[in-house]
Amino acid sequence: MTQLADARFQAALSDRYIFDRVLGRGGMGTVFLARDVKHGRQIAIKALSPEVVADVGERQFSREIRVTAQLQHPHILPLIDSGKAADSLYYVMPYLKAGSLRDLLNEKKRLSVAEALNIVSDVAEALEHAHESGLIHCDIKPENILMSAGHAVLADFGVARAQHVEGRPWRAMVDSSGGTPAYVSPEQATGDHLDARSDLYSLACVLYEMLTGQAPFAGDSDQATIAHRFTKPVPRIDELVRGVPSGISLAVAKAMSVNPQMRFPSVGRFMDAVGSEYATPTSVMTRSSWRWSERLGILGFRLVHRFQSTAESKQGLKAATTPTL
C-alpha cells in the first residue's frame, strides 16, 4: 500500500480502530498496529495487497474467511474481524508482545531435538485441525509461528485457502497467493493443485531449519531459492548435526519429497513417524492410543524443563504476537 492508500484505509476504519503504526509490509499486504475503540485492546490489522485481492477475489475471500473464523484451537491465533475498507480486504488478529519462532532462531541459531519437536508438535496439531476443517494454511514459516509460554501458536490464517472451492481444487502461484520461497511446496511454487501435503512440506522445511540452523533452500533471488528444491538435493539433517536420530532425518526428507505422492499422506502420519523415535517400549505398549502430540509433550517435559506439558498449555495457553509478512 502507498502512503495515500494507507491514509484512505485508516480513514475508512477510523470509527472502529485507532491506528498506531505500520508493523510490516510484504507481498501479501501491510500489517498495522491499532487499538480497538470499542474494547480498548491492541490488535493487528492486515490489509491485503492489490495483487492478492485480484487473485483471491472478494467473494472467495468472504467465503473462506468465514471458514477460517470458525477455527478454534489452542495453537491457532484467532481471527477477530474481517471486511473491506477503501477497496482493501482486511482481517484483524490479536496483538500481544511475544516473540516468534524466527526471533527464537535468531537468538539461538538452532534448537535441540526436544525443543524443535515440542514446537513442531504444536504446529502440527493446529494444521491437523485446519485440514480437517478443509483449510490449507499456504504460508507456514518461522515468522508465522508465535511463541507463548514455551509453546507455539500458528498465526496468519486470514489468507488460508479451502482445499476445494466449488468442487475444483485451488491453484496458487507463490508470487501472488501466499507462500514464502524458502518454505513453499513445489506444487504451490508452480501453480499446481494443492492439498494438505503442501502444508506438510512447509512444516518439514521449518523443522529442518530448527534442527540445522539453516533453511533447506536459499538462493540469490526468490526464483533461485524456489528452483533449488527441484535441482539440488537437500543434505540429510543427521549428516549436518550430531545427535539427531536418523529416523527423524528420514521422516523430514520424506515429507520434503518434490512429488506430493511420495510424502506422508497427512501431518498426523508425519508426526507419528517423528514421534516414534522418542516413544519408549513401555509407553507404546501401555498407552498405544496416545496421540503423537501427547507423546512429544511428555518428551519436552522430560528433556526440556522450561517447557510446560502439552496438557497444561491447552488449559492456559495465551495469545501471541502478530505475524510478520
Known catalytic residue at 139: yes
> Using H for helix, E for strand and C for coil, what is the string for the chain?
CCHHHHHHHHHHCCCCEEEEEEEEEECCEEEEEEEECCCCCEEEEEEECHHHHHHHCHHHHHHHHHHHHCCCCCCECCCCEEEEECCEEEEEEECCCCCEHHHHHHHHCCCCHHHHHHHHHHHHHHHHHHHHCCEECCCCCHHHEEEECCEEEECCHHHCEECEECCEECECCCCCCCCCCCCCCHHHHCCCECCHHHHHHHHHHHHHHHHHCCCCCCCCCHHHHHHHHHHCCCCCHHHHCCCCCHHHHHHHHHHCCCCHHHCCCCHHHHHHHHHCCCCCHHHHHHCCCCCHHHHHHHHHHHHCCCCCCHHHHHHHCCCCCCCCC
Question: One of 55, 122, 139, 156 is an active-site residue; which one?
Answer: 139
What residues are annotated to the active site? 139
